[in-house]
Structure 1
Amino acid sequence: MRAGAPTAVVGASTVSLSRAAQDAGAELHVLDFAPGILREAGEWLGLPEDRRHLVDVTGELPERLRGRYHLVVADRLVNRFSAADLPGGLRGLRDLVAEGGTLALTVRFGWYDRDRQIHDALTPAEQRLFWRPDVGEIDYAAVPDRDIPLPTWGGISGEVMREHIRGRGREARFHQDELLAAIADLGGLDRTDLVEAANGTALVVLRKAALRKGEHHDPA
């Protein structure tokens, strides 16, 4: 993060990243598709309205945001995409980045501990709804009404946690080579670093190449 550099944190709930950008003196912008969390995070960070952007990066980006940011950061955001949304989500993240800028993604490869905990508590029929290996998706909406062990988060548990988990819907679960192949298929980004952690999370750092005269990135 660099002082004065236009920097986008995609995912308003990752306020620690946003605060780090502010502490570094970056020109922080926060993007999220959920108006409530965007408003709360913006107020907590003291962000002016013109630096809060209600945007779904899997869809069409507003023209004003295309190629705007020297640095775009997303913490495990790609894990929230469904398998069908992954190519569009990666494209949206790429298109936020200015020529010569950087896209930094943290990614969890494989299952979360909570995925295994829930899966192991399900019947075989429920497991087939929860985990779809044919498309590489977990479907949290398939968590049943019956009493099963659920993860806790802070003081959240029980029915509140059940509804929170169900609300996550479908999420992709993939291996490192699958993500890197999707990035390569997209084009316009060069990998500069990949740092793996012991818990299955990795930092993927990508650079958007500066275009030579007469070239253009394929927006498709």
Structure 2
Amino acid sequence: MTERIAEIYRKTNETEIRIHLNLDGTGQGTIQTGIGFFDHMLYGFARHGLFDLNVQVTGDLEVDTHHTIEDVGIVLGTAIKEAIGEKKGIRRFGFFLLPMDESLALCAIDLSGRPYLNYQADFTTGKIGEMDTEMIREFFYAVSYSAMMNLHLKLLEGGNNHHMAEALFKGFGKALHMSVSYEPGMTEVWSTKGSL
């Protein structure tokens, strides 16, 4: 079984990002984006998905958090796509219903090669720590399109905005873990077309 590891480096006039991702890890890593709450969310994603994730970012936070968060999504999605490789033998579909105290999030993924985001989450505050809540959707949009995945995220119950965000990120980690896991006995790409 080949290692499913990717290291992606991306530099623009707004951000410089390096991400190292191991899909078959133990949920460890170092994450430094310059946005504390975003670091916390990415660590929750990696920990509950059992991915080893290192993220190093220098961004134009003097402007706002937009470029940093969106660009991390682009690079993480690219890393996911590269690490998965040919998709032979993986389950392809992943879904998880994750409770976080009063909050409840649904995440469903299809690694179909057809990008799409269906996002339904209404936050009641503009920021959590230094992270703009409107950027949560932008992050997942960037991930879904860069990874070429169909991604559905829906908050079924809410209350505390921290819990709501955490349920989305942890649910995404659990659903992605399921979708990239190997299906016993499956050696081909799981598609009636023969390719994804």
Indicate the TM-score class for this superposition, using the shorter chain for normalisation: under 0.3
Q: Which has the higher contact order (CA 8 A, sep 6+)?
A: 2
Instruction: Output the TM-score relative to the length of structure 2.
Output: 0.27
Please tell me whether Structure 1 or Structure 2 has the larger radius of gyration of its CA atoms.
1
